[in-house]
Amino acid sequence: MHIHFVYLLALLLLAATVHAAVLRERTRGRVAELVLLYLLVGYCGVPMLAVSIWVLVSPEHAAAGFGFSAAGPLLAFFGWAYLGMSLLALLALRYRGTFLVAPVVVWTAYLGGATLVHLQGSPGRAVEILASHGLIAILLVGALITSGAWKELG
pTM, rounded to two decimals: 0.91
Sign of the CA dihedral running 18, 43, 104, 83? positive
Who contacts 29 (Cβ-Cβ below 8 Å, separation ≥6)?
A: 146, 147, 148
pLDDT at 33 over 70: yes
CA distance 9 to 29: 21
Phi and psi dihedrals of 114, rounded to 5? -60, -35
Nearest to 47 by CA among 96, 94, 97, 107: 107
Sign of the CA dihedral running 140, 141, 146, 148? positive
Nearest to 26 by CA among 13, 18, 14, 94: 18
Confidence at 55, pLDDT banded by 50, 70, 90: very high
Determine the pLDDT at residue 1. Answer: 53
Determine the pLDDT at residue 2. Answer: 64
CA distance 18 to 51: 27
Confidence at 39, pLDDT banded by 50, 70, 90: very high
Task: Characterize 41-61 residue by residue with b for buried, 16 or more Cβ atoms within 10 angstroms of its Cβ, and e for exposed.
Answer: bbbbbebbbebbebbbeebee
Determine the pLDDT at residue 70. Answer: 76
Share of the chain above pLDDT 90, in %: 73
> Could you read off the pLDDT of 79-124 as tens digits, one per residue?
999 999 999 999 999 999 999 999 999 999 999 999 999 899 888 8
Q: Are residues 85 and 46 in contact, defined by beta-carbon separation less than 8 angstroms? A: no
Who contacts 135 (Cβ-Cβ below 8 Å, separation ≥6)?
A: 9
Share of the chain above pLDDT 70, in %: 97
Confidence at 18, pLDDT banded by 50, 70, 90: very high
